[in-house]
Amino acid sequence: MPQRSDRSLPTRIIGTEAALKPICDTILDAIGATPMVRINRITHGVVPATVLVKLETFNPGNSIKDRMAVRMIEDAEKRGLLTPGGTIIEGTSGNTGMGLAIAAVVKGYKCIFTTTDKQSKEKVDALKAFGADVIVCPTNVDPEDPRSYYSVSSRLEKEVPNSWKANQYDNLSNTAAHYEETGPEIWEQTNGRVTHLVCGVGTGGTISGVGRFLKERNPNIKVWGIDTYGSVFKKYKETGIFDKNEIYPYITEGIGEDFLPANVDFSVIDHFEKVTDKDAAIMTRRIAREEGIFAGNSAGSAMAGLLQLKEHFTRDDVVVVVFHDHGSRYLGKMYNDEWMREKGFLEKSGMTARDLVAAGVPGELLAIEGTEPVEIAVKLMSEHDFSQISITLDKRLVGSLNETHLYSQLLAEPSVKSQPVETIMQPAFPFVDVSTPVELLATMITPENPAVLVRDFKTDKTFIITRSAIIRVLR
């Protein structure tokens, strides 16, 4: 593939001839000084700018989180918050836990991590490999819910003697690590020619730290954050409104949140670009197959977001995209064909959910707040002739209710009519993208799961598809 010639960015600065590190006393000394690599095929003929990726997979724990994990521990030690023989506690999607676990091995600490059932099995197994205890918590609950991985980790900090919670979301040592290390590396590797930073936003430490450093060197540098549908960041940046209607389950790992971490400095971030789960997953695979770079899910999101923003770049621009972690943690997900088919991410011929929506087969989602009495749910379902309904708490989808279950509950105890509907709700219906094939939707609808929610991100609408809707198009 032809490559743009850019003599202002010598290959030795951004690629293969980086200075060798001296012998490291411990594995912690090997953190940082990661390479930068030019993207050639994915952006060729699409993005006119020079696109470089900062490959954080070269850190010992295969992710950028090694940097801030060690910084948080060292700052806690200096402040007397973490003492010899202590226990490190953290809620983590896996990568921060890995960095903390590696440092804990070297420094002699124990680790207890909480994570969500959305995270890949590979991430959980990796944490256990370093001797950490891992507690898996439900994803689809509010951060304040006692079952959430945030709440469980906070409870453990109070219960476990001589423990310290890293709190990567609000611990500003996270941002400091990237301001003092990652940002200067990017500036030096590009000879100060960087014009744009594109970075997935989760805890916010990377984009805020790197972005602040770069903007201090050149205020004209644009910092663009990659968000996901189901996260609150983009709307909050654009309107200042924390909208719980923006929150719903999503598959993409490592970016997006349903709250506002202290490390997300919105004043540093110029723009947020949302990327769908499907586009992120497909791009993750493309990076490996077209560039030979085995990167994680957030790298797919970042590259997909970059392509969505292609019209904003010129030939003179130098764009740096941060690749946070390694593809080995997603072997059971994005790199697994069966998993991709189950999620409707691999293209298939035939009718899709979008065709059903266009034909007017499914109706728009109707939901009831979980605090409303059951009798209101009965009335609502009767008036609209619905056999199932979704349940929300503060407008966030948390559960469902179908008429068979409702009928059995009313027969067993008629007084349940006056109780909050959340007391008898069932698990929430699964979310799928509007491009999901009807053939796949049919397999997802079962007696235990009588409906599927279809999200059309372009129109910002959610539809409910039931067995009867599928029968109407398949007969």
- Identity of the residue numbered 163: S
Reduced to 3 states, what is the DSSP secondary structure of residue 186? Answer: helix
H or E, element range at 393: strand 388-393
- Identity of the residue numbered 327: G
Long-range pairs, 308-312, Cβ under 8 A, ≥24: 308/273, 308/275, 309/198, 309/224, 309/273, 310/46, 310/47, 310/48
Catalytic annotation on 65?
yes
E-strand stretches of 282-371: 318-323, 363-364, 367-369
H or E, element range at 88: strand 87-91
Q: Tell whether the torsion through CA atoms of 139, 71, 112 and 159 is positive or negative.
A: negative
Q: Residue 145's CB: how many other CB atoms inside 10 A?
A: 16
What is the 3-class SS of 414-469, one letter each residue? Answer: HHHHHCEHHHCCEECCCEEECCCEHHHHHHHCCCCCCEEEEEECCCCEEEEEEHHH
Catalytic residue among 65, 274, 333, 343: 65
Give the integer Cα–Cα distance in Å for 347 and 353.
13
Q: Tell whether the torsion through CA atoms of 125, 428, 365 and 248 is positive or negative.
A: negative
CA nearest to 405, candidates 389, 381, 419, 424: 424
Reduced to 3 states, what is the DSSP secondary structure of residue 87? Answer: strand
Give the integer Cα–Cα distance in Å for 212 and 270.
11
Q: What are the two backbone dihedrals, phi and then psi, of residue 432, each rounded to the nearest 5 degrees? A: -135, 160
User: Annotated catalytic sites, by residue?
Assistant: 65
